[in-house]
Amino acid sequence: MLGQRQQELERLCERLGYKFNDLSLLDLALSHSSWSNEQALPHPFLACNERLEFLGDAVLELVISHYLYTNFPDAPEGELSRIRSNLVNAHSLSQCAGYLQLGSYLLLGRGEELQDGRGKVSILADALEALMAAIFLDGGMEAATKVINRLFARKVESSPQHVGHKDHKSILQERVQAIMPSHPQYKLLSSSGPDHHKIFQVAVMLQGKTLATGIGHSKKQAEQDAAHQALGAFDTTHHESADK
């Protein structure tokens, strides 16, 4: 591993609060398929983070499920599932990746670089999953648990206050129609990723203006996430207008 790259990865370890025994695992976790495909390797899928992403998804779900099960003993199964879904969706994972500034450490192909791949929600979310798998392989479940709990602590504690709503779209529509004769509209912005793991991005609009965007593994999930994000923006805008 080149000296400059090693120094970059060591700085990331400091942000993580975890020191890798094998930095090549961390390097692999940050290697996107667009980069490995350009290296003329016989098996490029072995030099990108997709396999780690597969493992990291399971590690994240297990650690967060155990945390929720232990810390919310009175919550029913459905509530725990909703909280977990809110924590491990692509939007949430990309936020954690942003906190760690993972985008600046990614190895991307030329095409992804030109398309602002370092800021793409799907790429950042996948990289975070791969990173958790790399920590698990390098230091075991105890190390992965410590890092995950530290990264998601604030989100976990605040989730019960935000995931109890069953239908964010309905709530948003009710609030809008209470003050104006209009209703939110949803527009598909993009879809990316393989067929078995697609990420949809949707905008929720009101009177031609975008209130918020959301993402999900289906259009319905993305619309619900957009409505969820829009609720805060809509309330803030309405309150500011009312105060003037």
Q: Is the dihedral of CA 4, 5, 11, 13 positive or negative?
A: negative
Is 14 an active-site residue?
no
State in Å, rounded, how far the first CA of the chain is from the last one. 59
In 3-state terms, what secondary structure has residue 244? coil
Is 38 an active-site residue?
no
| Active-site residue, selected from the candidate residues 27, 129, 223, 225 | 129
Q: 59 — phi, psi (to 5°)?
A: -65, -45
Closest CA to 128 of 176, 64, 68: 64
Residue 227: half-sphere exposure toward Cβ, Cα within 13 Å: 23
How many residues are given for the chain? 244
Residues with a catalytic annotation lie at 57, 129
